[in-house]
Amino acid sequence: MGDEDWEAEIIKPHVSSYVPVFEKDRYSSGANGDTFNRTPASSSEMGDGSSRRDHFMRRGFASGRSLGDRDPGESNKRENTSTVGGFGVGKSFGNRGFSNNKFEEGDSSGFWRESSNDCEDNQTRNRGFSKRGDSDYEQDEGTQRSGGIFGSRRSALSGAGNGDTFQSRSGSGSGRGGYKGLNEEVITGSGKNSWKSEAEGGEGGDTQGPKVTYIPPPPPEDEDSIFAHYQTGINFDKYDTILVEVSGHDPPPAILTFEEANLCQTLNNNIAKAGYAKLTPVQKYSIPIIQGGRDLMACAQTGSGKTAAFLLPILAHMMRDGITASRFKELQEPECIIVAPTRELINQIYLEARKFSFGTCVRAVVTYGGTQLGHSIRQIVQGCNILCATPGRLMDIIGKEKIGLRQVKYLVLDEADRMLDMGFGPEMKKLISCPGMPSKEQRQTLMFSATFPEEIQRLAGEFLKSNYLFVAVGQVGGACRDVQQTVLQVGQYSKREKLVEILRNIGDERTMVFVETKKKADFIATFLCQEKISTTSIHGDREQREREQALGDFRCGKCPVLVATSVAARGLDIENVQHVINFDLPSTIDEYVHRIGRTGRCGNTGRAISFFDLESDSLLAQPLVKVLSDAQQDVPAWLEEIAFSTYGPAFSGGTRGNVFASVDTRKGKSSLNTAGFSSSQAPNPVDDESWD
Ligand SMILES: Nc1ncnc2c1ncn2[C@@H]1O[C@H](COP(=O)(O)OP(=O)(O)OP(=O)(O)O)[C@@H](O)[C@H]1O
């Protein structure tokens, strides 16, 4: 396929001309001699890449960028009224033939202003200290403020289309939060329509921006839905063999059973109804630590039950201390605040909190960007013991004096390394210095993630008491061993063919396909729909309603393929995701670990296939080899060769590979105990002081 066909092809109703025969067995260890690399598509792509680039450069594209980096939006620039213009921005792809979709011509100049800011690829290039503004995490509300904590800044906006039309939008930031114009229709998640005035419930009266009117549908209230869960997998019991290391002074012993946790009867009932019969390692260690009132930084592999590891002991404490039943108050003072980096994740955590607090007087509330602030406030004022929030929205609500912080006893940062990096770190610092927020000595701070880069661990000291405990289940930052990882050498121009080939082989099994940019997510999703593969997409430029619809369609299997950006990389727990495909590799190894962790959860097995592009991914080779070998996966010889020939970040201290921490950064004094667990000595208090 010539590069000029790149965008034209998307409106052609036929399948790409060359689809190599799928050979399952050749997935693994795709050495240089990998079958896939010998395909005509691959070789042509590798061979004529430079001439293509020249061609594009002559045409004024891709300046300074490899052609492979060119996202579909760029082709759109050439034909600003082409159908490519609004891919999916405002559209669910699920189960729809391309021809069924209407497209509207957009303001191409606005669109292109947007595009220049649309570099998710920039985001992860800076990983570890990624700059929030570039990322596809939640950028709404407080985090986009220009003036102080509670000021607001939004990008220029165009009206968004109705839900049934593809539409190019100028000012992509507008996409976040699902802007509708003044006095426009409120589309509630339940499908009911009503009209709201601007004054009634926008995203904050003091903002210069538009109002967000989306009201998410209330989650089902029936017990069966609340306790719906999927089965643990065949490897669940193998969790017990993972080494656990606890460092810090005087850790309490781990518990082995739920009974030992001494939880109240209601909690025990809820645990049983949730189908939990046995503790996972992170739960065995974290529950007594949290019950003992200690601060905690816990690192455990993806899908191994970190959410319950913090929710259960917090709820147990609340029950023990006798929580005041929720009642209506204009200012609510929750005992617990939980923050997470994405809207879908915080909603999932909320649902878990609601499940475990079922039948108690503890009331959990969720609030996140892209939804009507007024709606959130109405939920909050009815009573709030546990507030689950994305950071920007949390700061908004605090600024509106609907949430007071004086009663906060527990502050939980899920995906804590993400919450503390350059993107969210400043927001988190503002949170802990908000008026009323108890000092770290007065509250309990809990941090959880599957990855914890050393520099982030150091930053975390500001939030934690100096005697916090560090729990590492397995290797900090290691990939889940239940995920079979395969790395294939695939160049930019072969990726789509390869993707289709793999997906056709996979059939209806649920698959997440990760790409680096929002535009590319739309492009690939549309492309797959053309190929008659039911696909939907999720990324930060989609309206919240669309994001939730996409996730719903994927969860229920209506669309077995979800094309996603990094916004879906962390935390999402979706039943039956059997495959993750890294169409584009992320720029950091931590991101890779989180992405592939969407499969192989809770003892179930999964597969991850990653397309490794020699032109753009070689800096990831070293950490990738390490992650693969640590997880006892086959390492392709060609990848090893690249890793050893690349003077990469593992040696240079650069950020892309960001080789993960293997230990609690405070120590160097850990000693394995005879039981196979390890418990390090107490850190020297002087050392603690020095990095506190
Ligand atoms: N003890 C248990 N028994 C059975 N199922 C469990 C147990 N603990 C957790 N689960 C289930 O395992 C799944 C994964 O849990 P969870 O989402 O908390 O993982 P996680 O460690 O936070 O993953 P990630 O790092 O991706 O955020 C969930 O469906 C959860 O309900």
Quick: pLDDT tens for 547-571. 999 999 999 999 999 999 999 999 9
Q: What is the dihedral of CA 431, 436, 442, 443, to 10 degrees?
A: -40
- 518 burial type by CB count under 10 A (0-12 exposed, 13-18 middle, 19+ buried): buried
Q: What pLDDT is stored for residue 407 in this prediction?
A: 96
CA distance 309 to 410: 14
Task: Please state, in angstroms and as integers, the Cα–Cα distance from residue 424 to each residue in 143, 298, 608, following that order.
Answer: 8, 19, 28
Ligand 1 pocket, residue 574 CB under 6 Å: no
Tokens 């950091």 sit on residue: 588
Q: Beta-strand (E) ranges in 450-569? A: 469-473, 483-489, 510-514, 535-538, 561-564
Ligand 1 pocket, residue 305 CB under 6 Å: yes
Listed in sequence order, the residues at least 6 apart from 130 whose beta carbon sits closer than 8 Å to its beta carbon are 123, 124, 421, 422, 423
Ligand 1 centroid, distance to 228 Cα (angstroms): 13
Ligand 1 centroid, distance to 371 Cα (angstroms): 26
| DSSP secondary structure, 470-481, as one string | EEEESSTTPPPT
With vertex at residue 653, the alpha carbon angle to CA 491 and CA 469, rounded to the nearest 5 degrees, is 110
Q: Tokens for 161, please give them.
A: 């289309």
Tell me which residue has its CA closest to atom 8 in ligand 1: 305
Q: What percent of the chain has pLDDT over 90?
A: 61
- C-beta separation of 114 from 176 below 8 A: no
ipTM: 0.99
Ligand 1 centroid, distance to 368 Cα (angstroms): 22
Task: Please state, in angstroms and as integers, the Cα–Cα distance from residue 159 to each residue in 102, 120, 179, 366, 554, following that order.
Answer: 17, 24, 7, 27, 28
CA distance 616 to 220: 45
Ligand 1 pocket, residue 425 CB under 6 Å: no
- Pocket-testing residue among 573, 574, 590, 594, ligand 1, by greatest number of atoms within 8 A of Cβ: 573
Q: Tokens for 394, please give them.
A: 């949390």
Pairing of strands 510-514, 561-564: parallel
What is the tens place of the pLDDT at every residue in 231-282? 999 999 999 999 999 999 999 999 999 999 999 999 999 999 999 999 999 9
- C-beta separation of 372 from 201 below 8 A: yes
Q: What pLDDT is stored for residue 290 in this prediction?
A: 98
Q: Which of 356, 334, 463, 460 shows the shortest CA–CA distance to 409?
A: 334
- Pocket-testing residue among 304, 339, 604, ligand 1, by greatest number of atoms within 8 A of Cβ: 304
Q: Which of 464, 417, 180, 419 shows the shortest CA–CA distance to 299?
A: 417
Ligand 1 centroid, distance to 684 Cα (angstroms): 34
Q: What pLDDT is stored for residue 137 in this prediction?
A: 62
- Pocket-testing residue among 267, 307, 351, 446, ligand 1, by greatest number of atoms within 8 A of Cβ: 307
Q: What pLDDT is stored for residue 209 in this prediction?
A: 59
CA distance 212 to 178: 6
CA distance 393 to 425: 15
Please name the amino acid found at residue 657. Answer: G
Tokens 């109703």 sit on residue: 13
Task: Please state, in angstroms and as integers, the Cα–Cα distance from residue 400 to each residue in 226, 298, 330, 371, following that order.
Answer: 31, 33, 10, 16
Those residues of the chain that have pLDDT short of 50 are 1-134, 140-207, 649-662, 669-692
For residue 345, which atom of ligand 1 is closest to its CA? 27
Ligand 1 pocket, residue 232 CB under 6 Å: yes
Q: What are phi and psi of 515, to 5 degrees?
A: -130, 170
Q: Residue 204 belongs to what H/E stretch?
A: none
- Pocket-testing residue among 257, 280, 660, ligand 1, by greatest number of atoms within 8 A of Cβ: 280
For residue 278, which atom of ligand 1 is closest to its CA? 1
Q: Residue 299 belongs to what H/E stretch?
A: strand 296-299
CA distance 384 to 85: 43
CA distance 237 to 241: 8
Length of the chain: 692
End-to-end CA distance of the chain: 57
Ligand 1 pocket, residue 302 CB under 6 Å: yes
Q: For residue 356, what is the DSSP state?
A: H
- 256-276 in b/e form (b: 16+ CB < 10 A) is eebeebebeebbbebbebbeb
Q: Which of 249, 253, 263 shows the shortest CA–CA distance to 286?
A: 253
State whether residue 103 is helix, strand or coil.
Answer: strand
